[in-house]
Amino acid sequence: MPTLTTTNGTSLYYEVHGAGPPLLLVHAISAGAAMWRPQVEHFAATHRVITFDAPGVGRSGPIRGSRGTLPAMAADVVDLLDHLAVARAAVCGVSFGGILAQQLAVTHPERIERLAIVDSYSDSRPTSLGRAAWLASVYAGAWSNLLPTRVLRSIIERQYRRWPEAASVLGEAVSRLRGVDALKTRLAINLVNFVPGLRSADFPVLAVVGADSWPRSGTFTAELRRAVPRTAVVRIPDSTDPSSLCRPELFNEILARFLRDEPVGTAPG
């Protein structure tokens, strides 16, 4: 199992599949590299697909400290790209991975060929009563990561019963959950604003959201498109976070078109 010791002093498990233009896939919170199996199988025929377990997840080392978690994780990803001699990559992140991908993009835009943000958000500041209520609920819900893993697995499997593959992969992921590290990660990504950095960059941006995702997801995506007009927005029907597992074939088609610089369709908003 290949691992890299990063400059932050943790270890990063990673996998590389296929050959061609580099495509970096950043997983949902605590899900690990294994969640990208449908995408690895599809894109390894045309791309050098890079996946990894973020610090605190799976086969990687722990999160070091309790402050600066998100910038430290982005620095770990830069270490991985350097280790693999990847100057620039197309980057796709889902949910938490969308947050980490954006952190990487705004702090190291020169490493980004194009950016796909999936079932995620770019600006979570409490600038309205509705946003403040949402943010408060997210902070409160973060502590659920400390529940017994058998309880979390049962919740996940019920929540995703419409999407058996997602239920299986995410259920298996939470059975291996490292609760304290998951809590640190959740708290680190709650309050962000990547819009200024995305606006000033020049790489193409794709925002994908499941039509059945959490209530504010569509609003966040529409706000991103208004703030960064070059963003292409696609809404995937009968899907929720993570769309890459709920509707993998459709998701792969959308991402492939984006990688080929073809129109992907833009939702109103």
User: Could you report the per-residue pLDDT of 36-76, keeping only the tens digit for each?
Assistant: 999 999 999 999 999 999 999 999 999 987 789 999 999 99
pLDDT-based confidence at residue 268 (cuts at 50, 70, 90)? very low
| Mean per-residue pLDDT over the chain, rounded | 95
Q: What is the CATH number of the domain that holds 204?
A: 3.40.50.1820
Task: Determine contact, residues 267/211, Cβ cutoff 8 Å.
Answer: no
186 within a domain of the structure (yes/no):
no
CB burial class (10 A; 0-12, 13-18, 19+) of residue 52? buried
105 within a domain of the structure (yes/no):
yes
- Domain residues for the domain of 46 are 3-128+191-259
Overall number of domains in the chain:
1
107 within a domain of the structure (yes/no):
yes
63 within a domain of the structure (yes/no):
yes
Element (H, E) at 77: helix 69-83
142 within a domain of the structure (yes/no):
no
- Put residue 235 in one of left, alpha, beta given phi > 0 → left and psi -120 to 50 → alpha: beta
* Res 267: pLDDT: 43
* pTM of the complete model beyond 0.75: yes
* Res 214: pLDDT: 77
Tell whether the model's pLDDT for residue 254 goes beyond 80: yes
pLDDT-based confidence at residue 269 (cuts at 50, 70, 90)? very low
Q: How far apart are CA 124 and CA 121, in angstroms?
A: 7
Per the DSSP assignment, residues forming a β-bridge with 49 are 17, 23
76 within a domain of the structure (yes/no):
yes
pLDDT-based confidence at residue 265 (cuts at 50, 70, 90)? low
Angle at 46 between CA 199 and CA 115, to 5 degrees: 10
58 within a domain of the structure (yes/no):
yes
Report pLDDT digits (tens) over 117-162: 999 999 999 999 989 999 999 999 999 999 999 999 999 999 999 9
